[in-house]
A and B are shown apart, each in its own frame.
Chain A
Amino acid sequence: MRREQTLADRITGSAVWRSVVRHGYPDTQRNQALIIASNVFLHIHPVKIKRYATKVTYTFCLGGLSFFMFLVLTMTGVLLMFYYIPSESQAYESMLAIEGSVSFGQLMRNMHRWSAQGMVIAVFLHMGRVFYTGSYKPPREFNWVIGVLLLVTTFLLSFTGYLLPWDQLAYWAITVGSNIGGAAPIVGPQVNRILLGDLQIGQSTLIRFYTLHVIFLPLIAAFLMAVHFWRIRKDGGISGPL
């Protein structure tokens, strides 16, 4: 006996729907497997996973949160880019405009700022969690190294973004920071010059930091994250008790 077709059945049975979603409602194990395997965003996961790997008190969601904050930062960052002008003479004014006259501009900026701080903390704590659970041990050595590179990339992303508001806080924090880099033995002056593009922070510095911040470093981070996530699966999923 066939039951009567509801509107939902018609929609989910239509050729258009089936062309997009190739699995039925995920209430059977088969469809639950298909939904993971046939969705580009979900297929980063395996179909099945060890039970301990879903325990929040094991991972504290820290790696996931770091990635999530990266996504929030990308989205709010793109929105801010519509209004921000990386020019010595206009950067600060465009910041005032974002805060004062752009709809939800202040909210976008706040979300960007706070998740940037949050990402530094989350990445750092994620490293702690991975360390204290011994998850760097073979076969995951290389992924640990990738993780350290991601930590450094996160620091650099945050540091390059710090200059962009072009206020006193930004200007002098970057002055102190780049002086620290400039104190490197032997190559110090060169490092400082490469960072600033000039003898002191100015237009060349701003455009360097801007380009690094909005495209170069995000690409590096995305590249490293791709390797990082891929290796988790290739190394047998997240670690757990033997």
Chain B
Amino acid sequence: MAELANNSTAPAAQAIDEARRRKLLELVRGRALARPTDLAEDEVMVWPSLVVVEAVSAVVFLGILTILSVLVNAPLLERANPQQTPNPSKAPWYFLNLQELLLHMDAGLAGVIVPTLALGGIAAIPYFDRSPLGVGILGTSSKGRKIIAFSAVFTTVVLTGMILIDEVIGTGTQWGIGRYLQEEQGAPEWVGGIVLSALIMAGTIGVFVVFVKGIFRPTRRELIIALFTGFFVAYWVLAIFGTSFRGEGQELTWPWNLPLEHH
């Protein structure tokens, strides 16, 4: 950069006419023209190559946002009333996955422990997967992309299945086992709500890992891809269930039967 700074203090240099510049060029052959950067084959100047992309995407996005904001108003219901609990009451949509989990197990496990473990696990990924293989390639390889597809389908199907099974047997009863232990055997609530629920979740993830290992013989990176995809898809599947399929009393229902006031 020092070289650049020196050059910038010589605006007179720009005034040198073309003929004289040629002569100068001959004089100091080799490194005559001020070349602030030596562009390698695979490099481009940030101005204009990157700045243009940023400017265009900013303008396009701002346009979309403005049009959306002109057309659709942000919701504003009646004044807050602590005496009148709406049914259903819902958290903001990005936490509705936690609220969905909450229906099936202990609140502390669903609302705090699971998300903390998930975020902690995600933050720790680079300390487990340190091989530089596959950097810069979406999904690492065609095998990686197959694992992503498999994991996404597996997660969607199994998660949806588990929610529906719970609905049939009794939501929050841990497939009836928790209810049986509590009602018939006098076990405390946490046995079902925490221990059984944690076992069911860990077991499902375990089965998933066995499937991925059996089918794909994955490397560490590929196994982490499978697990991350599981998290990524579960986040949205649960959020969609919470947002669009939970009506009065948090009963499963169709989206068109929901009150139209949740955003």
Q: Which residues of A line the B interface, CB within 8 A?
A: 1-2, 18, 22-24, 26, 29-30, 32-38, 42, 45-54, 56, 58, 61, 64-65, 68, 72, 92, 95-96, 99, 106-107, 109-115, 117-118, 120, 124, 127-128, 131-138, 140-141, 144-145, 148, 151-152, 155, 158-159, 162, 165-173, 175-177, 179-181, 183-185, 188, 200-201, 239-242
Residues B132 and A137 in contact, CB atoms below 8 Å apart: yes
Task: Tell me if B43 is interfacial: C-beta within 8 Å of chain A.
Answer: yes
Chain B residues whose CB sits within 8 angstroms of the CB of A127 once the complex forms: 122
Once bound together, how far apart are the Cα atoms of A173 and B263, in whole Å?
Answer: 10
Chain A residues whose CB sits within 8 angstroms of the CB of B98 once the complex forms: 180
**Main secondary structure on A side of the interface with B:** helix
Once bound together, how far apart are the Cα atoms of A176 and B204, in whole Å?
Answer: 28
Segment from B84-92, B156-164, B181-189, B210-218 that makes contact with A:
B84-92
Chain B residues whose CB sits within 8 angstroms of the CB of A112 once the complex forms: 74
Chain A residues whose CB sits within 8 angstroms of the CB of B46 once the complex forms: 32, 36, 42, 45-49
Residues B7 and A30 in contact, CB atoms below 8 Å apart: yes
Given the known interface contacts A49-B43, A54-B44, A171-B82, the answer about A183 and B123 at a Cβ–Cβ threshold of 8 Å is: no
Task: Tell me if B45 is interfacial: C-beta within 8 Å of chain A.
Answer: yes
**7 closest residue pairs by CB, A with B:** A183-B107, A141-B126, A171-B80, A180-B111, A110-B69, A113-B74, A241-B136
Task: Tell me if B173 is interfacial: C-beta within 8 Å of chain A.
Answer: no
Q: What are 28 residue pairs bridging A and B, where the CB atoms are less than 8 Å apart in the complex?
A: A32-B46, A34-B8, A48-B46, A49-B44, A49-B45, A49-B46, A61-B54, A68-B58, A124-B94, A132-B138, A132-B148, A134-B132, A134-B137, A136-B129, A144-B125, A145-B123, A145-B126, A162-B92, A169-B76, A169-B263, A171-B81, A172-B90, A176-B95, A179-B107, A180-B102, A183-B108, A184-B111, A242-B135
Once bound together, how far apart are the Cα atoms of A152 and B84, in whole Å?
Answer: 31
Shortest beta-carbon distance from A82 to chain B in Å: 18
Chain A residues whose CB sits within 8 angstroms of the CB of B84 once the complex forms: 168
Given the known interface contacts A49-B49, A167-B79, the answer about A181 and B111 at a Cβ–Cβ threshold of 8 Å is: yes
Residues A170 and B74 in contact, CB atoms below 8 Å apart: no
Chain A residues whose CB sits within 8 angstroms of the CB of B140 once the complex forms: 132, 134
Given the known interface contacts A56-B53, A171-B82, A172-B86, the answer about A33 and B70 at a Cβ–Cβ threshold of 8 Å is: no
Neighbour of A136 across the interface among B61, B69, B125, CB < 8 A: B125
Given the known interface contacts A145-B123, A168-B80, the answer about A35 and B85 at a Cβ–Cβ threshold of 8 Å is: no
Residues B65 and A111 in contact, CB atoms below 8 Å apart: yes
Neighbour of A173 across the interface among B35, B36, B79, B91, CB < 8 A: B91
Residues A32 and B47 in contact, CB atoms below 8 Å apart: yes
Residues A180 and B99 in contact, CB atoms below 8 Å apart: yes
Residues B44 and A48 in contact, CB atoms below 8 Å apart: yes
Once bound together, how far apart are the Cα atoms of A141 and B263, in whole Å?
Answer: 35
Residues B136 and A183 in contact, CB atoms below 8 Å apart: no
Chain A residues whose CB sits within 8 angstroms of the CB of B261 once the complex forms: 169
Residues A65 and B61 in contact, CB atoms below 8 Å apart: yes
Given the known interface contacts A49-B50, A54-B50, A65-B57, the answer about A168 and B112 at a Cβ–Cβ threshold of 8 Å is: no
Once bound together, how far apart are the Cα atoms of A184 and B80, in whole Å?
Answer: 26
Chain B residues whose CB sits within 8 angstroms of the CB of A176 once the complex forms: 89-91, 95, 99
Chain B residues whose CB sits within 8 angstroms of the CB of A170 once the complex forms: 80
Minimal Cβ-Cβ distance residue in A for B94: A120
Residues B47 and A168 in contact, CB atoms below 8 Å apart: no
Given the known interface contacts A107-B70, A109-B74, A134-B136, the answer about A51 and B42 at a Cβ–Cβ threshold of 8 Å is: yes
Given the known interface contacts A29-B37, A144-B125, A165-B76, the answer about A53 and B50 at a Cβ–Cβ threshold of 8 Å is: yes
- Further contacts, 14 of them, CB under 8 A, given A168-B77, A173-B91, A241-B137: A33-B47, A47-B36, A47-B46, A49-B46, A50-B42, A54-B49, A114-B68, A114-B74, A117-B263, A167-B80, A171-B80, A177-B91, A180-B111, A239-B135
